[in-house]
């Protein structure tokens, strides 16, 4: 039985990407029904960019793909959890996780690539 995800009035739900092995939270992005369908069809994380107003495959331009092991839905069916095997960095800044700094500005995460080399 498939869970009916509640995409709400704007047609989007937040999705947390988490490393399937370590549990590290890598990023948060938004997912449309089409993005969820593409993720389930291909086995790779797809999201919806609110700023670009388009569907995108994680790693499509950087090569840092997110093969998805499992998609979970929360108790209210309005948030998703992607359990992924992150290839390279998840963050466009070059860090492994988008959550690489504290609120005080201390860098606590690992930088794994140079974004200038990837996003020309």
* Residues 50 and 32: beta-carbon distance below 8 Å: no
CA distance 100 to 26: 9
Annotated binding-site residue? 74: yes
Residue 85 is labelled as binding a ligand: no
Q: Name the nearest CA neighbour of 90 among 35, 31, 47.
A: 47
- 78 annotated as belonging to a binding site for a ligand: yes
91 marked ligand binding residue: yes
**98 among the known binding-site residues?**
yes
- 6 is an annotated ligand-binding site residue: no
Where is the binding site for Zn(2+), in residues?
Answer: 75, 91, 98
Where is the binding site for Mg(2+), in residues?
Answer: 74, 76, 78
Where is the binding site, in residues?
Answer: 74-76, 78, 91, 98
């Amino acid at each position: 039985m498939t869970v009916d995800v509640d995409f709400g009035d704007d047609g989007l739900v937040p999705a947390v990407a988490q490393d399937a092995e370590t549990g590290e939270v890598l990023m948060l992005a938004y997912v449309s029904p089409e993005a969820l369908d593409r993720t389930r069809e291909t086995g790779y994380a797809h999201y919806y960019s609110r700023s670009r107003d388009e569907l995108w495959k994680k790693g499509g331009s950087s090569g840092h793909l997110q093969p998805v092991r499992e998609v979970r839905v929360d108790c209210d069916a309005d948030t998703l959890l992607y359990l992924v095997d992150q290839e390279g960095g998840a963050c466009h800044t070059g860090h492994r996780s988008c959550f690489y700094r504290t609120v005080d500005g201390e860098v606590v995460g690992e930088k794994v690539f140079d974004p200038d080399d990837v996003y020309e």
